[in-house]
A and B are shown apart, each in its own frame.
Chain A
């Protein structure tokens, strides 16, 4: 019998340069260090039962990442959290842990959208950005080519606005479904903002069951 838990965590510091695949390893090793009874798949090459929600591109920070894992024993949430916290590498911190029904669909198939915040490392002309946002939003289609394939970026942008606080930042809500993922760097490229002059932070991942009480109208 397995027990399923969901961790909401932040990814900061040097860990932003750890890829999705390596984050998977990071969790496996954290569980081993914490001596938690992580469940493994059967077969010739047993794999730890860890599932991640929508992958976060290399270099992005995040306040809101989700991972599901399966344990062979049921554990109370607070001791689970303590054990993990003591074994995590610098830059990863747990926001919350909950127990999840085994029957819930896999996280990957369950993700709908991601919200990102884009902070500028250099001064940008807010007026110009507002104009280019306007142009982008008013287009019907925005055909782009990524890795040799062309696709329409426009329907993947659910929301895009500039927040005129000091300092200013962008807020984007992009589709993150399996096979239909809007990428912040693609949006930035449409806005003529070089990605290396920004810091991108994922603020939220929206899951399918949250959509009902969400006014997105997805």
Chain B
């Protein structure tokens, strides 16, 4: 291709001038380069963060393999260029291109953005602009690609609504392929862009925001969305896979070092622990597991295909995987002595977890991480994460005794009802754990406390709750910094500005789009990166849009408030979330719902999938069983 040639010539001159030029050239092992002229539908999968982070994104990898398996389609990739490269692209008027065939993104049929977190919103606008594509959906005719987006952040699509043609809500394996099919038909029919949007809006899980009209009360709260067309669904229910499909095995092997150089295998999806702050735990229900055989097979094939030296077994709560012991034993039989590092994150706090880790510990040893989240009994009841201190200390002792020198503990601060005493207990607990470590192995023992700040997320029981004030967060962090000084202790925290930014982006309504656009125009991008120097730009953008960030961030919602994301349905009912919110207010714990279903809505919503394939095992018990409302006590 001539276009490709001249672009390559231009690139040859600018790449020597940028940092890590290997991020912009593709050609990685397992990347797929198809003949552009031989396929009908071309999709670019876009991850709006730098290559180093985006390359190992599992969602993108799954879609890349899925689409490229089809003879009639191709999938290529693009990531956010770092500032130095962006400057040179703009200066030389080079539009953003795909890594595989170096084709400008605007020449693709569909661009699929992955939005796992909200701080990528400005990057998304920036990428569209770098691709010489209008950022607003209404300004794009059919000569531009269809812009779709999916990922965890899109469960509240409203802040990005004016920029994205269609959101694909939920698990992407099938839905994107269905959108591609609809696109192909539409192209053959030669109809208008609005016909295309209407067509895809009938696919389950597709949300076309331009077909919905948000309405507000005079106090600024949300009133309702009105559909603009009678054929458009009132509520968009997320898509899930009844049974998890085969895991990807042809992972792209980067030719340069990136953040995660590894095979990632999802051992299960979903979580039934019911931690009230956890977005992933609420939106990824129900629990579906892969079999041990499937997982082993994926690892084996993945290793053969990539040569990677690291394997990550992913899930929200590994200890809850039914056959976790069998899995770990099988893995250590099969793969020990092969110079592999195998990680199993998200383990429960008990000595069984230490047994598991010990079996995986090959010649290369990683750290040990546990997530107590809260240190006081009261906070544990509020967030619904019951752990016993005694159990934590026993487990910590085992961890140190069996050869780990560093224990990382994750905590969360910032729930509005949290007091300084609750926070002080975090520091006290870390010190107790360190003392246990010193008893076990002496002064080599180290405790690292990673303390994040709570953001009340949509579709969680805490969606009614306010976000902590910056001053109060700082005060709590100062307390911890003071207390967690000294040998063997380390303390990491999140800048309160990052928390606040994440809060308004995740809780915003459609009016926030204007703020995002203005902030981007004034230079905000890489919002999770830039040491929060963008914060003032954002504040200015709020002023220009005549909106108050505190309205989104620090306001406690009334119990019957309508949320801008209520028409996106994750299968978990708002009434269930409400009950859980009220339970948190009365410090009531609720147990793992696998043992006792609370009828969150998942089984009703997706019963058809379960029926379709009676062989599949979800971990939800049968909902017709009578349920009791036992209060759970803290296990010892």
* A144 CB, nearest partner CB in chain B, Å: 19
Q: Are B257 and A17 in contact (CB under 8 A)?
A: no
Cα A197 to Cα B253 in complex, Å, equals 30
Q: Confirm or deny: A161 has a beta carbon within 8 angstroms of a beta carbon on chain B.
A: no
A21 cross-chain contacts in B, Cβ below 8 A: 257
A14 cross-chain contacts in B, Cβ below 8 A: 22, 25-27, 255
Q: Are A22 and B256 in contact (CB under 8 A)?
A: yes
A185 nearest in chain B by CB position: B16
Q: Are A121 and B363 in contact (CB under 8 A)?
A: no
Q: Are A32 and B13 in contact (CB under 8 A)?
A: no
Centre residue among A21, A28, A32, A196 by max chain B CB count within 10 A: A32
A13 nearest in chain B by CB position: B27
Q: Are B253 and A29 in contact (CB under 8 A)?
A: yes
Q: How large is the interface on A (under 10, 10 to 19, 20 to 34, 35 or more residues)?
A: 20 to 34
- Contacting residue for A17 out of B17, B25, B364, CB 8 A: B25
Q: Confirm or deny: A155 has a beta carbon within 8 angstroms of a beta carbon on chain B.
A: no
- Contacting residue for A22 out of B22, B304, B305, B339, CB 8 A: B22
B291-317 toward A: CB 8 Å interface, digit per residue (1/0)?
000000000000111111100000000
Q: A1-46: which have CB < 8 Å to B?
A: 13-15, 17-19, 21-22, 25-26, 28-33, 35, 40, 44-46
Q: Are B303 and A25 in contact (CB under 8 A)?
A: no
* A61 CB, nearest partner CB in chain B, Å: 10
A29 cross-chain contacts in B, Cβ below 8 A: 29, 253, 306-309
B28 cross-chain contacts in A, Cβ below 8 A: 89
Cα A165 to Cα B21 in complex, Å, equals 31
A18 cross-chain contacts in B, Cβ below 8 A: 22, 255-256
Q: Are B21 and A59 in contact (CB under 8 A)?
A: yes
- Contacting residue for B17 out of A26, A33, A91, A196, CB 8 A: A196
Cα A58 to Cα B23 in complex, Å, equals 13
B29 cross-chain contacts in A, Cβ below 8 A: 29, 33, 89-90
Centre residue among B29, B253, B305 by max chain A CB count within 10 A: B29
Q: Confirm or deny: B37 has a beta carbon within 8 angstroms of a beta carbon on chain A.
A: no
Q: Confirm or deny: B12 has a beta carbon within 8 angstroms of a beta carbon on chain A.
A: yes
Cα A17 to Cα B12 in complex, Å, equals 10
Q: Confirm or deny: B15 has a beta carbon within 8 angstroms of a beta carbon on chain A.
A: yes
Q: Are B306 and A44 in contact (CB under 8 A)?
A: no
B254 nearest in chain A by CB position: A22
A43 nearest in chain B by CB position: B363
A40 cross-chain contacts in B, Cβ below 8 A: 339
Q: Confirm or deny: B203 has a beta carbon within 8 angstroms of a beta carbon on chain A.
A: no
Q: Confirm or deny: B429 has a beta carbon within 8 angstroms of a beta carbon on chain A.
A: no
B363 cross-chain contacts in A, Cβ below 8 A: 44-46
Cα A19 to Cα B257 in complex, Å, equals 9
* B50 CB, nearest partner CB in chain A, Å: 15
B558 cross-chain contacts in A, Cβ below 8 A: none
Q: Are B253 and A89 in contact (CB under 8 A)?
A: yes
* B367 CB, nearest partner CB in chain A, Å: 15
- Contacting residue for A90 out of B27, B308, B339, CB 8 A: B27
Q: Confirm or deny: B624 has a beta carbon within 8 angstroms of a beta carbon on chain A.
A: no
Q: Confirm or deny: B3 has a beta carbon within 8 angstroms of a beta carbon on chain A.
A: no
Q: Are B309 and A15 in contact (CB under 8 A)?
A: no
- Contacting residue for B307 out of A17, A22, A87, A196, CB 8 A: A87
Cα A25 to Cα B254 in complex, Å, equals 10
Q: Confirm or deny: B593 has a beta carbon within 8 angstroms of a beta carbon on chain A.
A: no
* B305 CB, nearest partner CB in chain A, Å: 7
Cα A199 to Cα B14 in complex, Å, equals 12
Q: B568-591: which have CB < 8 Å to A?
A: none
B255 cross-chain contacts in A, Cβ below 8 A: 14-15, 17-18, 22, 26, 89
* B98 CB, nearest partner CB in chain A, Å: 13
* A31 CB, nearest partner CB in chain B, Å: 7
* B142 CB, nearest partner CB in chain A, Å: 33
Q: Are B13 and A121 in contact (CB under 8 A)?
A: yes
Q: Are B12 and A33 in contact (CB under 8 A)?
A: no
* B22 CB, nearest partner CB in chain A, Å: 4
* A160 CB, nearest partner CB in chain B, Å: 21
B30 nearest in chain A by CB position: A89
Q: Confirm or deny: A195 has a beta carbon within 8 angstroms of a beta carbon on chain B.
A: yes
Q: Are B21 and A22 in contact (CB under 8 A)?
A: no
Cα A46 to Cα B307 in complex, Å, equals 16
Cα A195 to Cα B12 in complex, Å, equals 11
Q: Are A46 and B339 in contact (CB under 8 A)?
A: yes
Q: Confirm or deny: B9 has a beta carbon within 8 angstroms of a beta carbon on chain A.
A: yes
- Contacting residue for A199 out of B12, B17, B25, B309, CB 8 A: B12
B28 nearest in chain A by CB position: A89
Cα A33 to Cα B300 in complex, Å, equals 11
Cα A90 to Cα B13 in complex, Å, equals 21
Cα A17 to Cα B253 in complex, Å, equals 15
> What are 9 A-B pairs at a CB distance below 8 A?
A17-B15, A29-B253, A33-B306, A35-B304, A45-B364, A58-B21, A89-B255, A90-B29, A196-B17
Interface residue ranges, B against A (CB under 8 Å): 9, 12-17, 20-22, 24-29, 253, 255-257, 261, 303-309, 339, 363-364
Interface residue ranges, A against B (CB under 8 Å): 13-15, 17-19, 21-22, 25-26, 28-33, 35, 40, 44-46, 58-59, 87, 89-91, 121, 195-197, 199
- In the complex, the 3 A-B pairs of residues with the closest C-beta atoms, listed nearest first: A29-B307, A14-B25, A14-B27
A17-B21, A18-B255, A121-B13 given. 5 additional CB < 8 A pairs?
A14-B27, A32-B308, A46-B363, A89-B27, A195-B16
